[in-house]
Amino acid sequence: MIVTLTLNPSLDRTIEVDSLTRGAVIRAGGARVDPGGKGVNVSRALLANGIASRAVLPCGGDDGQRLVRLLGQEGVAVVAVRCAGATRSNVTLVEPDGTVTKINEPGGPLTAAEVDRVAAAVLQAAGGGAGSGRADWVVVCGSLPPGVPVDLYATLGRRFAAAGLRVAVDTSGPALLAAVAAGTELVKPNREELAEAVGRPLGSLRDVIDAAQELRSWGAGTVLASLGADGAVLVGPAGVVAGESPPVEPRSTVGAGDALLAGYLAAGAAGGSGAAGVAGAAALAEALAWGAAAAALPGSRMPRPADISRTHVRIHPGPDLGRPHCHPADRPTDPDGRRPARPGPLGG
Ligand SMILES: Nc1ncnc2c1ncn2[C@@H]1O[C@H](COP(=O)(O)OP(=O)(O)OP(=O)(O)O)[C@@H](O)[C@H]1O
Ligand SMILES: [Mg+2]
């Protein structure tokens, strides 16, 4: 069983517009409302694949209630901790050519007492009950709400680890650095988050692996670095594995990183060490299959078993470290304008 914690969840409104003109009255086409939040997405992905999970989140105001209701309708086991601050709502404006403009609210503030109640809810949710057993992992995801210390994930992670839980953190900036320094067992930065953490651009797989090793030298146990269409790299105590699934023409990469992390934990939940090595390679392959499937789905829809293809995932225990990355947009097209599959590991 996997418990997720989303401290700054949201009600995500997606609105289709014909075009975006500043200062104009814009008529909306379709509009939809979805539950949002990175930990929430991890729980949704696990649920869609039959793996028990509980999603712990603070919630407040009407939007908070609606968020909890929507998650309940999807079948997510939600542990909502009522808080005074209103749950935020994030707005995504989608134009016909696929251009996406996002407006994310900062979120309601959380007081120290509320954080304590949320942490207690995580420990209780992780303790088992209702036939779901004790949690293997607590996955702490997303941005921090206003008003909390920047090292809150580090503090919470230590508390969860002391209770015997394995802790994974997916966040960015100073919160990521603090979680790394606190010795978090697993962190999942994307390329930009990893580059920001080490303070330099990451042009090749070698650069990514060096940066991941740097995070490990600062305290992180295992680094699962996601690289968009270039796949992902797992750097742990047992070594390095890289891999990718064939690049898809992404419908929406929002939540692809969350699906990747869910797939990794789903594969490792059977007892894998989570480190690189044979178990790590298998978990990375599963992660890549889930990530690519999520990228091919619209919005933040999480893949179900029928969406996930494992046949074309490639794992490279000895990756060609010097190769530059090849982003889909940079990859050469054939005369019909199609992008051929890359010729070699993580580059072309
Ligand atoms: N175009 C693509 N083709 C194939 N796989 C993809 C593509 N884009 C993303 N993926 C898969 O999804 C994973 C996660 O993507 P990415 O690195 O963009 O995560 P992220 O930036 O953390 O996303 P988010 O935070 O929105 O969930 C990648 O490691 C890869 O496996
Ligand atoms: Mg991410």
| Residue 338, pLDDT score | 46
Q: How far is the CA of 230 from the centre of ligand 1 (A)?
A: 8
* Tokens 């994930």 belong to residue: 153
Instruction: Show which residues are catalytic.
Output: 258
Total count of residues recorded for the chain: 348
β-bridge pairing 77-82 and 166-170: unpaired
Is any ligand 1 atom within 6 A of the Cβ of residue 346? Answer: no
Check if the beta carbon of residue 181 is closer than 8 Å to that of residue 214: no
Q: Can you give the pLDDT of all 348 residues of the chain as single tens digits? A: 999 999 999 999 988 899 999 999 999 988 889 999 999 999 999 999 999 999 999 999 999 999 999 999 999 999 999 999 999 999 989 888 878 899 999 998 999 999 999 999 999 999 955 555 688 999 999 999 998 999 999 999 999 999 999 999 999 999 999 999 999 999 999 999 999 999 999 999 999 999 999 999 999 999 999 999 999 999 999 899 999 998 888 777 788 999 999 999 999 844 444 455 677 899 999 999 999 999 999 878 899 999 999 999 999 875 554 455 544 443 434 444 444 444 333 332
CB atoms within 10 A of CB 61: 17
| Residue 287, pLDDT score | 97
Residue nearest to atom 23 of ligand 1 (CA): 257
| Residue 191, pLDDT score | 98
Counting ligands in written order, the one closest to the CA of 41 is: 1
* Tokens 């947009």 belong to residue: 329
Is any ligand 1 atom within 6 A of the Cβ of residue 14? Answer: no
Amino acid type, 222: T
Q: How far is the CA of 112 from the centre of ligand 1 (A)?
A: 34
Is any ligand 1 atom within 6 A of the Cβ of residue 36? Answer: no
Pocket test of ligand 1: the residue of 202, 224, 260 to mutate, having most ligand atoms within 8 Å of its CB, is: 260
Is any ligand 1 atom within 6 A of the Cβ of residue 256? Answer: yes
Angle at the Cα of 273 from the Cα atoms of 215 and 7, rounded to 5 degrees: 60
Check if the beta carbon of residue 106 is closer than 8 Å to that of residue 2: no
Tokens standing for residue 8 = 């700054």
Question: What is the reported pTM?
Answer: 0.88
Distance of CA 212 to the CA centre of its chain: 17
Counting ligands in written order, the one closest to the CA of 294 is: 1
Residue nearest to atom 2 of ligand 1 (CA): 229
